[in-house]
Amino acid sequence: MNPWRLVAILALVLAFTLGTVLVLQGCKNGPATRSRGEVVAADTADFRDDLCDFTEPDLTVTSTGHVFVAWLSYDGQADSILAATRDDDGWSTPFDVTTAPGRCFSPRLAADLDGGVWLVWSAARDGQHDLFARHWCAGQWSDVERLTEHPGPDTGPAVTMDRAGNLWVVWEAFRDGRFDLFARVRSPEGWRAERRLTDHPASDVHATIACDPGGDVWVAWMSWRDGCFGDGNYEIYARRADMPLDDPPTRVSTSPQVDMLPDLVPLADGLALSWTNAYFRPRTIETLTVPNYDNWDDKIYQVAWLRGGRWTAPVDVRLTLHDEREQVVSDYASAVAGTLSDEIWLLYGFISVRGTSDSTWRTELCRVTPDAAGPSFDISESISGPGRSIGTAWAQGQLWTAEAAEYQGDLQPQAIMEDGTVIWGPDAVAELRQRDPATERNWIHVRALRPASLTAGRPLPERPPAPRHPVPEDLASQQITRKPRLTVSHSDQTWTVFYGNLHYHTDYSRDGRRRDGPAIQNLRSAYDVARLDFVSLTDHAEWMRAGEWWMLRKLTDLWNRPGDFVALPGYEWTSMVHGHKNVIFPDTHVAGPDSLHRAIAETPPTQLWEHLGERDAITIPHHPSHAIMRPTDWSFHDERYQRLVEVFQMRGNYEYDGAPLQHARQRFAFAPGHCVRDALGLGHKLGIIASPDHAGGLGLAGVWAERLETHAIFHALYERRCFGTTGAHMALYLEVNNAPMGSEIVSQGPVHLRARIHGTTPGLKITVVSDGTDVHSVSTADAVALLEWSDPRPLTATRYYYIRAEQTDSHIGWTSPVWVSPP
Contact residues toward Zn ion (CB under 5 A) are: 572, 580, 693
Nearest approach, Cβ of 621 to Zn ion (angstroms)?
9
* Distance of alpha carbon 396 from alpha carbon 217, whole angstroms: 24
Q: 211 vs 113, 147, 216, 274, CA distance in Å?
A: 13, 21, 6, 15
Which distant-in-sequence residues (6+ apart) come within 8 Å of 497 by Cβ?
Answer: 485, 486, 487, 488, 702, 703, 704, 731, 733
Beta-strand runs (E) in 585-721: 618-622, 644-649, 652-653, 687-690, 700-705
Choose between 263 and 539: whose C-beta lies nearer to Zn ion: 539
**Contact predicate 435/446, CB 8 Å:** no
Q: How far is the CB of 700 from Zn ion (least distance, A)?
A: 16
DSSP state for residue 565 in the 8-state scheme = B
CA angle 202, 729, 709 (to 5 degrees): 65
The nearer residue to Zn ion, 153 or 624, going by C-beta atoms, is: 624
In b/e form, how buried is each residue of 666-682, taking b as 16+ CB within 10 angstroms?
eeebbbeebbbbbbbee
Q: 3-state DSSP call for residue 524?
A: helix
Which residue lies nearer to Zn ion by CB, 285 or 448? 285
Ramachandran angles phi, psi of 23, nearest 5°: -70, 155
Query: The sheet that has 751-758: what strands, in order across it?
Result: 739-740, 731-736, 751-758, 784-791
CA distance linking residue 96 with residue 101, whole number of Å: 10
The secondary structure of residue 738, as a DSSP letter, is T
Give the nearer residue to Zn ion in terms of CB position, either 62 or 292: 292
To Zn ion, the closest distance from the beta carbon of 308 in angstroms equals 51
Residue 788 burial (10 A CB sphere; 0-12, 13-18, 19+): exposed
Least Å from the CB of residue 581 to Zn ion: 8
Instruction: Using alpha carbons, list the distances in angstroms from residue 4 to 46, 139, 344, 442, 500.
Output: 17, 18, 40, 19, 46
Closest approach, Cβ 508 to Zn ion, in A, equals 12
DSSP 694: S
Q: How many helices (H) and strands (E) does the chain have?
A: 8, 60
Q: Toward Zn ion, which CB reaches closer, 403 or 572?
A: 572
In the complex, minimum distance from the CB of residue 595 to Zn ion, in angstroms, rounded to a whole number? 18
In the complex with Zn ion, the residue whose CB is nearer, 347 or 568, is: 568
Select 583 or 705, whichever has its Cβ closest to Zn ion: 583
Burial of residue 548 (CB within 10 Å: 0-12, 13-18, 19+) is buried
CB of 117 or CB of 664, closer to Zn ion? 664
Nearer to Zn ion, 263 or 693 (CB): 693
- If the CB atoms of residues 572 and 791 are measured against Zn ion, the closer one turns out to be 572
Provide the minimum distance between the beta carbon of 618 and Zn ion in the complex, in angstroms, as a whole number: 15
Minimum CB distance to Zn ion smaller for 148 or for 421: 421
Report how far residue 251's alpha carbon sits from residue 234's, in angstroms, rounded to the nearest whole number. 11
CA neighbours closer than 13 Å in the CB half-sphere of residue 657: 13
| Beta carbon nearer to Zn ion, 548 or 693 | 693
**How far apart are CB 780 and Zn ion at their closest, in Å?**
35
Secondary structure (3-state) at 242: coil
Interacting residues of 224 by C-beta distance below 8 A, sequence separation 6+? 202, 203, 204, 233, 234, 528, 529
Give 262 or 605: the residue with its C-beta nearer to Zn ion.
605
Nearer to Zn ion, 572 or 587 (CB): 572
Residue nearest to Zn ion as judged by C-beta position: 580
Which CB sits closer to Zn ion, 112 or 572? Answer: 572
- CA pair distance 208, 241, nearest whole angstrom: 11
Q: For the purposes of burial, counting CB atoms within 10 Å of the CB of 742, is it exposed (0-12), middle (13-18) or buried (19 or more)?
A: buried
The least distance separating Zn ion from the CB of residue 290, rounded to whole angstroms, comes to 18
The closest alpha carbon to 203, from 221, 183, 180, belongs to 180
Q: From the CB of 810, what's the least distance to Zn ion, in Å?
A: 23
**Of 505 and 721, which has the nearer Cβ to Zn ion?**
505
How far apart are CB 629 and Zn ion at their closest, in Å? 6
Whichever of 197 and 647 has its CB closer to Zn ion, that residue is 647
**Residue 119: CA atoms inside 13 Å, Cβ hemisphere, count?**
30
CB 702 within 8 A of CB 732: yes
In whole angstroms, the minimum distance from the beta carbon of 401 to Zn ion comes to: 34
Smallest gap, in angstroms, from Cβ of residue 174 to Zn ion? Answer: 29
> Residue 613, by phi and psi: left (phi above 0), alpha (psi -120 to 50) or beta?
left
CB of 26 to Zn ion, least distance (A): 27
Task: List the beta bridge partners of residue 645.
Answer: 688
Least distance in angstroms from the C-beta of 583 to Zn ion: 12
190 strand-pairing partners: 187
Minimum Å gap between C-beta 717 and Zn ion is: 18
**Minimum gap (Å) between residue 683 Cβ and Zn ion:** 25
Minimum CB separation of residue 576 from Zn ion in Å reads: 10
Q: Is the peptide bond preceding residue 375 cis, with omega within 30 degrees of 0?
A: yes
**φ and ψ at residue 552, rounded to 5 degrees:** -65, -40
User: By C-beta, is 626 or 758 nearer to Zn ion?
Assistant: 626
Do 693 and 503 form a contact (C-beta atoms < 8 A)?
yes
User: CB-hemisphere CA count at 13 Å for 809?
Assistant: 18
